[in-house]
Amino acid sequence: MHELWRVVLITTSIALIIGWAPAFPFELLGGSAQAQTRVQRPPRPTPKPRPTRVPRPTRPPGPRQTVVVPPSPTPTLSLPDVGGTPTPTATPTMIVGNQSCPGIPVTCPQRPACPTGNKIGQLYYKYPASAPVITTKPSEMRLDRRSNGIFPDTEIGSLSLTDKDGIVVVRMPRLEFRRDGNGWIAETPEGWVRLAPKEVGPGYTFQFQYNTPNFPPGYFSVVYQLCFSIGDDGVDEQIVCQPKARDGFLCHNNGPTF
């Protein structure tokens, strides 16, 4: 072994002198040339390319469409045209049963042939000893869709109030209307009834007053049937009441029946 090292050293020295140095024979020392090389890191993996976004389709250019909403027309209050209106049938005196609409004009408390949908305003009975009176707030009524209309200038009306025992306690059997402002009014010795087309929406408003009803002291009925007719159209509505101070009472219906 010592001889081998001597040969190696002599050979290396001669090589250095003449400028030629062979590779050192590490294999002879029991080693490996690869073991003496520097350890290198493995190369980084190549990053995957990002997927390319597909651009959204663009709308083709074109003129924009502008929608113009016309303004709502202002409602104009108008009264029915009475020109060419057929002469109304006289109110019969006999009792007429249930009818189809249109039908024969009747007198309250008979049920009209074309009952209206209603929203009854409050009815109030005041009972001061000197001048008892029934007053009402404005009520609304809408004609039956089968009705041929009302014509207060030529048609006769009527009004009644019937108590729970079927007794008619208020009655105005003949109402002759005349023009009054934008509507009509009918006046009798017992009171008056006003009627006018609604300012907004379909239908009519009506209001009445009845003077000096012949009620005895302490009189009260929990329900009444209110009837108001014009020709073959009219109100036939039940109203519910509650007693008030000094033998008065306040009534109303259970809600609109439009």
DSSP string covering 140-153, please? EEE--TT-----TT
The pLDDT tens digits of the residues spanning 166-180 come to: 999 999 999 999 999
Q: How many CA atoms lie within 13 A of 106 on its CB side?
A: 25
DSSP string covering 12-69, please? HHHHHHHT--PPP-GGGGT--HHHHSPP-PPPPPPPPPPPPPPPPPPPPP-PPP---P
List the beta bridge partners of residue 158.
229
The pLDDT tens digits of the residues spanning 172-230 come to: 999 999 999 999 999 999 999 999 999 988 999 999 999 989 888 888 899 999 999 99
**Least confident piece of the model among 127-131, 229-233, 246-250:** 127-131
**Least confident piece of the model among 21-25, 43-47, 123-127:** 21-25
Mean pLDDT of the chain: 79
CB 206 within 8 A of CB 138: yes
Range of 5-9, 22-26, 71-75 with top mean pLDDT: 5-9
Q: Which pLDDT score is estimated for 48?
A: 76
CA distances from 90 to 87, 94, 128, 154, 174 (A): 9, 12, 39, 10, 11
**Structural domain boundaries in the chain:** 114-252
**Least confident piece of the model among 17-21, 64-68, 81-85, 152-156:** 81-85
**Least confident piece of the model among 19-23, 36-40, 186-190:** 19-23
Is the C-alpha dihedral spanning 29, 33, 35, 37 positive or negative? positive
CB 144 within 8 A of CB 115: yes
Q: Which pLDDT score is estimated for 216?
A: 84
The pLDDT tens digits of the residues spanning 51-69 come to: 777 666 665 555 554 444 4
Q: Which pLDDT score is estimated for 12?
A: 67
pLDDT band of residue 49 (cuts 50, 70, 90) is confident
Q: Which pLDDT score is estimated for 178?
A: 97
Separation between Cα atoms, residue 134 and residue 31, nearest integer Å? 131
